[in-house]
Amino acid sequence: MQVSPLTRRRNQGRLSPSWSLTGMDYGVPRPRPHVVAKVVIAATLTALCMFILRQSSALDGHDLFSKREEGVMHVLVTGGAGFIGSHAALRLLHDGHRVTIVDNLSRGNIGAVQVLQQLYSEPGQLQFVHADLGDNRAVHKVFAKNAIDAVMHFAAVAYVGESMAEPLRYYDNITSNTLTLLKAMVHHQVKTLIYSSTCATYGEPAQMPIREDTPQVPINPYGKSKKMAEDIIRDYVRTSNMAAMILRYFNVIGSDPEGRLGEAPRPELRQHGRISGACFDAALGVIPGLQVKGTDYDTKDGTCIRDYIHVTDLVDAHIKALEHGVPGEVGIYNVGTGKGVSVKEFVEACKTATGVNVSVTYLDRRPGDYAEVFSDPSKILRELNWTAKYIDLKESLSTAWRWRKANPNGYRSLISAI
Ligand SMILES: NC(=O)c1ccc[n+]([C@@H]2O[C@H](COP(=O)([O-])OP(=O)(O)OC[C@H]3O[C@@H](n4cnc5c(N)ncnc54)[C@H](O)[C@@H]3O)[C@@H](O)[C@H]2O)c1
């Protein structure tokens, strides 16, 4: 694996805040002293640099990334240090594909990349490029240096609440960066794109379940910026022979059933909270309890209803999408289970999976949230022969809990063990 140096380009995210390793940012009962936090950060950064230097010396496989090889697809995975991207890279590598991960590490975990590198360390299997997708030159360089066949574009900031507070960041990171990436693909004649979209592009439709032809009326900048990116892709593909697949995910949970990867939300992101990460944090005692936002929605128990899709199933949908793309066409698919689960039901499943009776506080609604969202996944079954297999929520949470319990500090514990 080749790891490019971590020198920051002008418009990359700042590294230091992203590597806040104190675990003190949100809902932590007893903050540690400042000096201890600094020592922990310094030690971890040193270990990280050692890891990167060690990998940088292993350049012997780089030539392989610049050449095409019969029967091997070279997939560029943007956001491959993140939750879903790392699981996708794992599956691609397992299937014998060549993977280049591009990530700015603003949100993901280099520890996830390290796990992949340990599993797939042969020359020409996996390389990591530290770059920001907003950096046009860096993006072009990736395509110029590598014989990329297809792109899976996961990289994004992805929190509804944060998008309400920082809309421009979302239009920049999601819409503008997708345009930059797409233009580079066109320039370098890369003709297959799998795009990570979201059910947030539908907003709050009157009719459930949501079909792909349900009108898209997003109600927050996250959903709007993703819909704009979708529109850009659709408009371009009409004029070209690119094969694009837009996958609209519902709520993604779970982790690798073999326990190699997991969901490791960074402490500074806790406040934006995904429910599974919050559930495990509460079960571990890292935060005092769970906060359920909104109990007066027009749903069966007053809490929001969501469709929880297992990350392994989601990745499988990407592989099917990769196989079925048609030049000059955009395939659009919902990826969900088709079943709505209320937040209260999710909390009960979380308690069962973790065996911890986590405390729950009920609060007012969060701006930008919608009451009920679940998919009609029949189109993807019909056209790509895909269906969700991991549909037992308690079982999915149990698997994810096993990884999190073994790695209470997420991937940071792996890095400091180097
Ligand atoms: N997790 C969900 O429930 C969910 C639901 C619907 C859609 N999605 C979409 O799936 C994708 C992946 O989400 P995730 O949950 O894995 O998020 P994540 O935060 O775990 O991973 C995103 C990765 O993208 C990287 N990244 C962000 N901006 C970047 C940039 N400018 N340049 C390079 N790298 C950058 C981050 O460092 C991170 O590693 C996103 O596009 C998201 O919108 C996620």
- What confidence tens digit (pLDDT) does each residue in 225-246 have? 999 999 999 999 999 999 999 9
- In terms of Cα–Cα distance, which of 135, 79, 129 is closest to 107? 79
Ligand 1 centroid from CA 298, angstroms: 30
Active-site entry in 222, 308, 333, 370: 222
C-beta of 255 in contact with ligand 1 (< 6 A): no
240-266 b/e (C-beta count within 10 Å ≥ 16 → b): eebbbbbbbbbbbbbbbbeebbbbbbb
What pairing do the DSSP bridges indicate for beta strands 150-153 and 192-198? Answer: parallel
* Residue 173 DSSP symbol: I
Return left, alpha or beta for 255; rule: phi > 0 is left, psi -120 to 50 is alpha, else beta.
Answer: beta
pLDDT digits (tens, 9 = 90+) for 159-184: 988 999 999 999 999 999 999 999 99
Provide the residue count of the chain.
418
Per-residue confidence (pLDDT) for residue 231, from 0 to 100:
98
Does the CB atom of residue 143 touch ligand 1 within 6 A?
no
Amino acid letter, 68: R
In angstroms, rounded to a whole number, what is the distance separating the alpha carbons of residues 224 and 7?
32
The reply to whether 362 belongs to the active site is no
**In this structure, is the dihedral angle defined by the CA atoms of residues 91, 95, 96 and 100, taken in order, positive or negative?**
negative
Query: Does 393 sit in the ligand 1 pocket, CB within 6 Å?
Result: no
Q: Please choose from 4, 91, 107, 169 the residue to mutate so as to test ligand 1's pocket, defined by most ligand atoms within 8 A of CB.
A: 107
Residue 61 has pLDDT above 80, yes or no: no
Residue 387 buriedness (CB in 10 A; 0-12 / 13-18 / 19+): middle
Note the pLDDT tens digit of each residue in 105-119: 999 999 999 999 999
Question: Is the per-residue pLDDT at 255 higher than 90?
Answer: yes
Q: Which of 193, 219, 191, 192 is nearest to 204 (CA)?
A: 219
Question: DSSP E strands: which ranges in 250-289?
Answer: 251-253
Burial class for 62, CB neighbours closer than 10 Å (0-12, 13-18, 19+)? middle
- Overall average pLDDT of the 87-95 stretch: 98
DSSP element (H, E) containing 407: none
Q: Is the CB of 249 under 6 A from ligand 1?
A: yes
Q: What is the pLDDT of residue 209?
A: 97
Is any ligand 1 atom within 6 A of the Cβ of residue 262? no
Two tokens, residue 52: 């990167």
- List the residue whose alpha carbon is closest to atom 36 of ligand 1: 107
* Residue 245 bridge partners (DSSP): 194, 331
Tokens read off for 248: 């609209």
The CA distance from 65 to 56, in Å, is 15
pLDDT confidence bin for 33, thresholds 50/70/90? low
Structure tokens of 207? 């009719």
Give the mutation target among 106, 193, 269, 312 for probing the ligand 1 site: most ligand atoms within 8 A of CB: 106
At 354, the amino acid letter reads: T
Single-letter amino acid code for the residue at 399? T
CATH class held by domain 15-254+308-336+374-391: alpha beta
Q: Which atom of ligand 1 is nearest to the CA of 85?
A: 16
Long-range contact set of residues 52-58: C-beta below 8 Å, sequence gap at least 24: 52/3, 52/5, 52/6, 55/1, 55/2, 55/3, 55/117, 55/128, 56/2, 56/3, 56/4, 56/5, 58/1, 58/2
DSSP 396: H
What pLDDT score does 219 carry?
Answer: 92
pLDDT of residue 204: 87
Mean pLDDT of the chain: 87
Residue 8 per-residue DSSP state = P
Residue 325 — pLDDT band, cuts 50, 70, 90? Answer: very high
Residues near 168 by beta carbon (within 8 Å), at least 6 away in sequence: none
Q: Alpha-carbon distance 373 to 331, whole Å?
A: 21
pLDDT of 24 higher than 60: no
Alpha helix (H) residue ranges in 57-194: 62-65, 83-94, 110-119, 136-145, 160-165, 167-170, 177-187
Where do the structural domains in the chain lie, given as residue ranges? 15-254+308-336+374-391
pLDDT computed for residue 37 by the predictor: 62
C-alpha 287 – ligand 1 centre gap (Å): 23
Question: What pLDDT score does 59 carry?
Answer: 45
Across 291-302, average pLDDT: 94
Confidence of residue 399 (pLDDT cuts 50, 70, 90): very high
Q: Out of 16-20, 135-139, 412-416, give the one with best mean pLDDT.
A: 135-139
